[in-house]
Chain A
């Protein structure tokens, strides 16, 4: 009957009778491998070598984590776009492998280049959000702010953007006009110009209405280099405001959940906030905007790139009640949910308070908070002190955060 596990209850003849809740004792015959496993289990059970064996397994996992990434899937799945482990693997195994050069290798939000005597930052990003219009913004505003923010958190003053449009046959011109108008407004608010562009139209069904790519150039006019690899034990980790607003807004705006909440996207240009921070605090080591993968992903990037530990306090992480409630209902963790107008900064420990004060003077940073510290161990791991008083490791997600059924 069963090709599975000879000796499992099914294969032993009649399936084990468990007809009623009250039953008789006695076990089913066990397969050879089960017996072996149990014997091995007994052999090391209650012996002193147990911690050693466990440690060996843990070491093995750590080694496996450091192994060169390899894409095992034959096809691209949605996980590859989710910003977690699968995305990192794809980038490192395919793109970094193909394009490897010292400017790309740091994998920061923007590349730092020297052109003549000028130091410039270059970045690009594509926007495929669905729905195109959502509470608090639309794809156009996102396309400007996202690229401006990638430049800003690299320490650059954003100057010029390009805009590429991929439009689906049948897409309403009125919608495109609306998107262009909101891009104009966002560009004006961020103080940049869109100076070049491209338009392609694809057949109906080959795209989801409208996709936008923007690239941006900024001037690295400060004599400081930033990067998460510079994080040192003792540094403070700061977020500039409540997290998860954008991601939760989009999930609810898709209308698949029949949940309503008064949340809107936090999409905003961060260049003003960043300038204020950098003017006030020389000891800023790195900044990242917490987009796809959320704050948890950035914390992991800090821990891995700098080979340090990171410890954050759940109580200190600002999350709006509406966002927490929706995330709680959906069974997802706000730490992994995307923001579009929040940054995470790593700042020298003795300047943390000054940095916090500088952020809080800006309208986008009024709820900035020191969420944790960089520690000297265990390297590569992010720990969270939970509000409940326990501790857990915050890892990278494999793919999209999946809703749990129970």
Chain B
């Protein structure tokens, strides 16, 4: 496939892997965090870790949008959805996220009208086609998806659509990264910066990470060679003692971001004073709500939202996993109480959540996988 296969070239990968290995100081361990869940997905899907020396560990960060939604918000959404005249609409990977009383899938099975959409604009279509019902869009995601929600709100305003609203759960990436950086136990050497988020916010917001925390950041694309090259760029910075923000994904990410996208977010949404993150607790100015100007599309004002606060299950250590302090298998409930079939923490829900990815794909460590593959079949 054109423009895709070029970024999955095994020969180029081998060459890059050799360069990465040559930059490793003997005896030194490197921990690099890929912030974005999309990167985690690519890493597992293509078996990218096979190319890395044992001394480089990739830590899966907080950038999986469904993984950071706290249970209470899911319960709130469920309460909205259970109003008899409501049609709740949601992205597909939100469907399995557990609240305290089950997921959207369970609610759907029990008769609640919850529909999966690919774009918030599809929710508008549903609202137009069901004038007698109130249609709520469960808005989730980082700055990546916020512009499309913003555009949808503006479209609804232009059409004066009376039966559409947004339950806004958009979060922002920088406060989450900062919360991680401020964790005193953290031993990260650098960040593979989120690519999709950066298409909107650009690379400039990461400068404090390099400047104030001395950690290099490389904004990366989503093909396996993108990530491998970003790791190389990080290792090069580390070996030269630099900490800078670099942009590997320059074919898509402008340094200053996408002004149009930022403008529509600013037009329709504002920062919340604080927001609860799954596993990370409350972080101030880390999420967006609908601006007063568009209050008539704000489900939180239109409906009686219970504002449920549900404690993360005590044994669940999603927070530590998200911060990279614990590996998934080090969590107390991993693989016993918490499995992809019965996820307790959100890290287990989405296939790109760190725990689900490890459960499904990481059961054999790199070494054993290599052994199994080369010995048994002998194919290169």
Contacts and interface: CB of A to CB of B under 8 A. Distances in A.
Question: Are these two chains actual partners, yes or no?
Answer: yes
B285 interface: yes
Interface residues of A, number: 83
Given A22-B211, A385-B379, A403-B118, A85 B341 contact: yes
A11 interface: yes
Contacts of A21: 174, 178, 205-208
Given A57-B334, A61-B359, A321-B1, A22 B212 contact: yes
A27 B178 CA distance: 10
A16 B179 contact: yes
B46 A390 contact: yes
Interface in A212-235: 233
A43 to B, nearest CB: 11
Interface string B245-288: 00000000000000000000000000001101000111111100
A23 interface: yes
Interface string B109-146: 11000000010001000000000000000001110110
Interface residues of B, number: 106
A36 to B, nearest CB: 10
B18 interface: no
A25 B373 contact: no
Interface string A48-62: 000101100110111
Interface stretch (B76-84, B159-167, B231-239, B310-318): B310-318
Contact of A1 (B196, B282, B360): B282
A72 B341 CA distance: 9
Contacts of B208: 21-23
Nearest to A2: B282
Contacts of A233: 376
B158 interface: no
A11 B224 contact: no
A378 B1 contact: no
A50 B332 CA distance: 14
B314 A33 contact: yes
Contacts of B108: 77-78
Given A2-B309, A309-B372, A391 B50 contact: yes
A10 interface: yes
Interface stretch (A120-128, A160-168, A177-185, A392-400): A392-400
23 contacts: A2-B281, A2-B282, A9-B283, A18-B283, A23-B212, A27-B184, A38-B320, A41-B325, A57-B335, A61-B339, A73-B106, A79-B105, A324-B1, A375-B377, A378-B368, A385-B373, A390-B49, A392-B44, A404-B350, A405-B94, A405-B141, A405-B145, A406-B65
